[in-house]
Amino acid sequence: MSDPSLIRAVKGMNDVLPDAMPRWHRVEAAFRETARRYGYGEVRTPLVEPTPLFVRSIGEATDIVSKEMYTFVDKGDDMLTLRPEGTASAVRAYLEHAVHGQEPVSKWYYLGPMFRRERPARGRYRQFWQAGLECFGDSGPQIDAEMIEMVVSLLASLGVQDLEVLVNSLGSRDTRARYREALRSYLSPHEARLSEESKQRLVTNPLRILDSKSPVDQEICASAPSILDMLDDADRAHFDELTATLGALGTKFRVEPKLVRGLDYYSRTLFEIQGKGGELGAQNALCGGGRYDGLVKELGGPDVPSIGFAMGLERILLALPNEASARSLDAMVVVAEPSLNVKAAVMLKQLRSAGLTAEGDLRGQSMKSQLRRAEKLGARTVVILGGAEEARGVVQLKDMRVRHQQDVAHDAVVAAIRARLALEGASHDGAAR
């Protein structure tokens, strides 16, 4: 039994320990690099915002606002919320700094934790990480297609297999209102058979019934009217050009008229990328996004058409192929006896100042145990300081891959390690060819 007095992390909120980090860093670096290539600059907004920001943008009837927000009153009696997503904060910052007056189009990206009090499951957490993009000032549809193509390319470059891209259009606000009523009229005669949650949604948010997981709800929805049949001419033209551009870019997609997504600010283009591979279970939405042409105005700004998306980093990691993720260590410094510890500390400084990753184990362990540790840490080379070698002004440099060992003068150690690493790189390239 574990000790009940131990304080544990909050349910649904996870630690990420250093061994897991290389995979996180790989995904984050790929995202940042892709965003940079497509012209996006990073924005960092606070983790806490005034509650009305989320209520007004995401929508009162949504699950996020009605059930999942971490909201509290602070000591100054302000009602604050831990951000459940990044779009509302980005729009707030965009307006607060009057960015619309400075440039016609702004392309922003962000990366950070979000908070939703959902039921924890594999791929669904109460604190989770999102990487997202927001583009303000371009009404599309080419930018819509570019964004979808960008995420698909990013995921492919990371090796995420078995993707499905779903696209839909919600039309304008008026279209959505008309569709809501059409859906309500269609569903009302079936009300008695609907799940309890959908019965409630029939009143508050009927569109969300379309993505109910209940088999009976799904069967009822199978013959529901399609929003695509209700689009006006301008919305239809936008959607047709989006799908034509995606075709020209070679991005495979499926039109899914039942895709609605759980945030109220969307209009027109909507998309979601679902994964099937890796360890992903039921939480297979890797990323979701869409247009929110009315939101900037709704929050008190000018009419600025906008589109964005966000992907869940934990879900991307679950979808990634499993690969060894050993931390890389260029050199491990090993001492024959503790009297050489000061010399080892100086050697470690020398290696690290030269840009090498280096570790030492100066706890007075035996040579055998230090070498075992070098093996465990995946050290490519080992620098051994011994009494006799010190007297001659040399160290022994061991190449852990080919088990080659040589004497090297103190001031030549960095160059000798670099040469060993370069040899290894060359033989890797050779193997890859």
Which positions lie near ligand HAM, rule CB under 6 A?
85-87, 116, 118, 123-125, 128, 130, 132, 134, 261, 263, 285-290, 292, 308-312, 314-315
Q: Tokens standing for 229?
A: 């049949």
Q: How many residues does the chain have?
A: 433
- From the CB of 43, what's the least distance to ligand HAM, in Å? 12
CA 262 to chain centre: 18
For ligand HAM, the closer CB: 134 or 264: 134
- From the CB of 26, what's the least distance to ligand HAM, in Å? 17
Could you tell me if 371 and 319 are in contact, meaning their C-beta atoms sit under 8 angstroms apart? no
- Which parts of 46-104 fold into alpha helices (H)? 51-58, 63, 87-96
Element (H, E) at 248: helix 233-249
For ligand HAM, the closer CB: 181 or 279: 279
- From the CB of 18, what's the least distance to ligand HAM, in Å? 22
- From the CB of 264, what's the least distance to ligand HAM, in Å? 11
For ligand HAM, the closer CB: 63 or 235: 63
**Residues 406, 264: Cα–Cα separation, whole Å:** 67
For ligand HAM, the closer CB: 206 or 312: 312
Nearest to 195, CA basis, from 183, 211, 179: 211
- From the CB of 167, what's the least distance to ligand HAM, in Å? 14
For ligand HAM, the closer CB: 43 or 287: 287
- From the CB of 20, what's the least distance to ligand HAM, in Å? 16
Torsion of CA 179, 265, 305, 104, to 10 degrees: 180
Q: What does the DSSP assignment read for 348-403?
A: HHHHHHTT--EEE--S---HHHHHHHHHHTTEEEEEEE-HHHHHHTEEEEEETTTT
For ligand HAM, the closer CB: 263 or 347: 263
For ligand HAM, the closer CB: 179 or 309: 309
Q: Which residues contact 305 (CB under 8 A, 6 or more apart)?
A: 137, 138, 139, 140, 291, 293
For ligand HAM, the closer CB: 246 or 316: 316
- From the CB of 150, what's the least distance to ligand HAM, in Å? 13
Residue 70's CB: how many other CB atoms inside 10 A? 16
- From the CB of 145, what's the least distance to ligand HAM, in Å? 15
For ligand HAM, the closer CB: 140 or 288: 288
For ligand HAM, the closer CB: 278 or 308: 308
Whether the ω angle into residue 338 lies within 30 degrees of 0, i.e. cis, is: no
Q: Which amino acid is at 229?
A: D
- From the CB of 277, what's the least distance to ligand HAM, in Å? 15
SS3 of 27, please?
Answer: helix
Q: What does the DSSP assignment read for 275-324?
A: E-STT--S--EEEEEEE-TTHHHHTTS----EEEEEEEHHHHHHHSPP--
- From the CB of 290, what's the least distance to ligand HAM, in Å? 6
Residue 37 burial by Cβ neighbours in a 10 Å radius (0-12, 13-18, 19+): exposed
Angle 233-249/142-158 helices, nearest 10 degrees? 40
Residue 247's CB: how many other CB atoms inside 10 A? 12
